Amino acid sequence: MSKVTAKSLIDRFSMELLGGEDGIYRPITTSDISRPGMEMAGFFTYYPRRRLQLLGRTELTFLERLTDQQRTERMQKLCTPNTPGVIISRGLEAPPELMEAAEASGVPIMRADMTTTRLISMITNFLEAQLADTTAVHGVLVDIYGIGVLITGASGVGKSETALDLVRRGHRLVADDSVEISQQHADTLMGQAPELIRHLLEIRGLGIIDVMTLFGAGAVRPFKRITLNVHLELWDEKKAYDRLGIDEEKLQILESEIPKYTIPVRPGRNLAVIVEVAAMNFRLKRMGINAAQEFSNKLMDVIEDYDKEEL
């Protein structure tokens, strides 16, 4: 989880810092944003003081109708040592009582020109991406027909070579060797490449190649949602591999599970085509078409018909 502060928001959204400069490096620990309407009315019992506080036209208009003493009291309660910042939307003026309370408690006051609803949406999306749980996985991430396929396996099994063949077939590389994965929403995993190796692919015997330079900007993408795992392993004669595809394995990453296909590797197998078909078959399953299940149902019907004839 990266560290996010009021300074991060100021730089990202070009906001104006009005006061409370001493607190611009306070950590923001949640993506939830509060519009303190009940607090403006004096109800602070369940005040979410650790959230960003956003004041729009409604809150500020209500505040103007209060007495000087009420405004001072409520702004002091709004600005606590735990409050990461107060944001004012629509370019509105900050009340003097808020500025005084912010300077006393070190709470940064920021102002943006955007409408309140749009500002909340943009900041929430930014914070969810920045504060998401992250991990790194050794593998290759490729966008195949819109499906984010994470290719894993032991070192030297052929992951990068498979990715190269997939790029030549018109698919897009996201990351090679190391995939940074973040849990941005429930059951949503986003993968990207570390900045140092972005767009690069390592081919043993050939070295490092720049995929974007060789194949064009259409051959890469910066990030992709991961929905399928294809695990490559050396062929084991003693292992019984799935022949029908009815039983589905799962791979646990952070708090999410994604379907997993284990593909045995041996000379003569076209891995790029197999991985490509795995992605296409996964899309069909999401559309309700399961060839393995349909075959199993037909087989059971034939067996039942045969048993009836025997009787």
The answer to whether 243 is a known catalytic residue is: yes
Query: Residue 306 above 70 pLDDT?
Result: no
Calculate mean pLDDT across residues 191-219. Answer: 94
C-alpha count within 13 angstroms, C-beta hemisphere, residue 13: 28
DSSP string, 214-279: HH-GGGB-SEEE--EEEEEEE--TTS---SS--S-EEEEETTEEEEEEEEEE-TT--HHHHHHHHH
Q: 278 and 150, same structural domain?
A: yes
Among the options 26, 159, 199, 224, which is catalytic? 159
Least-confidence region, from 23-32, 81-90, 136-145, 240-249: 240-249
Residues 148, 121 share a domain: no
Q: Are residues 152 and 245 in the same domain?
A: yes
Q: What is the mean pLDDT of residues 11-19?
A: 95
**Same domain for 263 and 169:** yes
Structure tokens at 213: 């330079």
Binding site membership for Mg(2+): which residues?
A: 160, 202
Q: Which of 243, 247, 266, 308 is catalytic?
A: 243
**Does residue 307 belong to any structural domain of this protein?**
no
pLDDT at residue 310 tops 80: no
159 is catalytic: yes
Do 195 and 232 lie in one domain? The reply is yes
- The model's pLDDT over 230-287, given as tens digits with 9 standing for 90+, comes to 999 998 887 777 766 667 889 999 989 999 999 999 887 899 999 999 999 999 888 8
Asked if residue 82 and residue 40 are part of one domain, the reply reads yes
Same domain, 26 and 54: yes
Q: Are residues 146 and 220 in the same domain?
A: yes
Confidence band of 301 (pLDDT split at 50, 70, 90): confident
Asked whether residue 119 falls in the same domain as residue 155, the answer is: no
Residues 138 and 284 in one domain: yes
Binding-site residues, in ranges, read: 153-160, 202
Does some domain include residue 23?
Answer: yes
Higher pLDDT, 158 or 298: 158
Which entry of 12, 35, 49, 177 is annotated as an active-site residue? Answer: 177
State what percent of residues in the chain have pLDDT above 90.
76
Q: Report yes or no on whether pTM surpasses 0.95.
A: no
Domain endpoint, select from 75, 109, 131: 131
Cβ-proximal residues to 136 (8 Å cutoff; 6+ apart), any chain: 178, 179, 180, 181, 194
* Together in a domain, 146 and 126: no
- Residues belonging to the binding site for ATP are 153-160
**Domain assignment of residue 35, given as a range:** 6-131
User: What is the per-residue pLDDT for 308?
Assistant: 64
Q: Which of the residues 138, 185, 250, 286 is marked catalytic?
A: 138
